[in-house]
Amino acid sequence: MSTIKVSILGADGYTCQIPRIKEGMMALGHILTKDSPDLIYSNDPRGYEEALKLKEKYPKAYLIFNFLDIPWHMPNIEEQAELLVKHFLLKADVVTVISFKVQNDLSKFYNKKTHVIYNPIKDVSYDEKIKKNNIFFYVGRFSDPVKRFSLVKESISKIKDGEKNIKICGEKDPPGFGNYLGIIKDKHLNEIYNSSKYVLLPSKAEGIGLPMIEGMVCGAVPIMCSDNLTAQEFAPSDFICEPNAESIVKKIEELEKDYEDKRKIALKLGKKYKIQFDKKSIAKNIIDIFNFR
């Protein structure tokens, strides 16, 4: 594989995808630079404007815009999506998306071919030496109504000692419920995934829902809701319930009766996803699009 000069743009914080995509590119031996790049890749809209300016400066560079999601709950979202397509996506050489669900959503506004390239998971892996001494784990933006953290609270409150047995991370401000950990490093995150029996992800919608993938990689059983169509793309019906507290509690009770077998299903999927969602695999998928242009 020849060395490629790559410019990676977009949201670049610790909880974002860009750091891992950059690490994946460097692990493959490619050079990260904004000076005469061969490839310009913007992972999200925060980098689109800068990517276009870089493309104007270096017109021979190959421009890829990645598209994360269409938040259908937002006001005037169809108009906003059409503007995003007009002002940005149509100016890219190629558009990628992070799941087949997102690909289908975007097809309503963008009639050109798109490529599905998943976002990378954090550096987590299965560790059989870690004991399962925690029951529930929630990772995500609990202040975002689409994540439906209220469903987590309502469901766990119906379970004896439930609040004592849930760990929560993902935002700086505490949610006032459960064992709040804040934003944690990958090593700690890996330990909690491995030590937890269940990962709760009751979101109304997800581009992917990486905690679901990361949980299965670490041998935790994820629980998702049926109106989150992406969950059906990556998880079996064993782990999916209706979007209400009663159904979530019932699903937990059902899984408890046959937990080890269900955990084996999660681990089997997780073994596949560990490779599929690895940062080097994602970087390679991006480079492959460039190479076969």
Instruction: Say how many domains are in the chain.
Output: 2
Look at 154 and 71; give whichever has higher pLDDT. Answer: 154
Q: Is the pLDDT of residue 106 over 90?
A: yes
| Euclidean distance between CA atoms 188 and 4, whole angstroms | 34
The residue ranges of DSSP E strands in 111-269, in sequence order, are 114-116, 134-139, 166-169, 179-182, 196-201, 221-225, 240-241
If asked whether residues 199 and 219 sit together in one domain, one would say yes
User: Is 37 within the bounds of a domain?
Assistant: yes
If asked whether residues 95 and 198 sit together in one domain, one would say no
Kind of pairing, strands 39-42 and 5-9? parallel
The parent domain of residue 18 ranges over 5-120+278-291
Q: What is the pLDDT of residue 176?
A: 87
User: Is 166 within the bounds of a domain?
Assistant: yes
Q: Is the pLDDT of residue 95 over 70?
A: yes
189-209 pLDDT tens trace: 999 999 999 999 999 988 889
If asked whether residues 282 and 265 sit together in one domain, one would say no
Q: What is the pLDDT of residue 1?
A: 60
DSSP letter (8 states) at residue 280: H
User: Is 41 within the bounds of a domain?
Assistant: yes
Name 61's Cβ contacts closer than 8 Å, sequence gap at least 6: 7, 36, 37, 38, 39, 40, 54, 55
Q: Is the pLDDT of residue 14 over 80?
A: no
- Judge whether 132 and 101 are in contact, CB under 8 Å: no
- Judge whether 90 and 258 are in contact, CB under 8 Å: no
If asked whether residues 111 and 160 sit together in one domain, one would say no
pLDDT, mean of residues 17-40: 96
pLDDT, mean of residues 55-68: 97
Q: What is the pLDDT of residue 253?
A: 96
- Looking up tokens 């998306």, which residue turns up? 97
- Judge whether 69 and 81 are in contact, CB under 8 Å: no
In Å, the largest CA–CA distance within the chain is 62
pLDDT, mean of residues 217-242: 94
Tell me the sheet residues that pair with 7. 40
User: Is 128 within the bounds of a domain?
Assistant: no
Q: Is the pLDDT of residue 73 over 70?
A: yes
User: Is 201 within the bounds of a domain?
Assistant: yes
Lowest mean pLDDT among 92-96, 139-143, 157-161, 197-201: 139-143
Q: Count helices and strands (H / E) in the chain.
A: 11, 12
- The average confidence (pLDDT) of the chain is 94
If asked whether residues 142 and 270 sit together in one domain, one would say yes
pLDDT, mean of residues 260-284: 96
If asked whether residues 250 and 228 sit together in one domain, one would say yes
If asked whether residues 98 and 149 sit together in one domain, one would say no
Q: Is the pLDDT of residue 15 over 80?
A: no
- Looking up tokens 């021979």, which residue turns up? 60
If asked whether residues 107 and 147 sit together in one domain, one would say no
Q: pLDDT band for 139, please (50, 70, 90 cuts).
A: very high
pLDDT, mean of residues 137-164: 92
Percentages helix, strand, coil for the chain (3-state, rounded to 5) are: 45, 15, 40
What CATH number is given to the structural domain containing 272?
3.40.50.2000
How many CA atoms are closer than 13 Å to the CA of 233, on its beta-carbon side?
A: 21
User: Is 126 within the bounds of a domain?
Assistant: no
Complete edge-to-edge strand list for the sheet that includes strand 221-225:
179-182, 166-169, 134-139, 196-201, 221-225, 240-241
* Residue 35 tokens, joined: 């000076």
Looking at the chain, the whole-number percentage of residues with pLDDT higher than 90 is 84
If asked whether residues 31 and 152 sit together in one domain, one would say no
If asked whether residues 104 and 138 sit together in one domain, one would say no
Burial 245-269 (b: 16+ CB within 10 A, else e): bebbbebbeebeeeeeebbebbbeb
Burial 176-192 (b: 16+ CB within 10 A, else e): ebbebbeebeeeebbbb
Q: What is the pLDDT of residue 45?
A: 94
If asked whether residues 162 and 271 sit together in one domain, one would say yes
If asked whether residues 211 and 138 sit together in one domain, one would say yes
* Residue 267 tokens, joined: 């681990």
Kind of pairing, strands 166-169 and 134-139? parallel
Name 262's Cβ contacts closer than 8 Å, sequence gap at least 6: 221, 238, 239, 255
User: Is 127 within the bounds of a domain?
Assistant: no
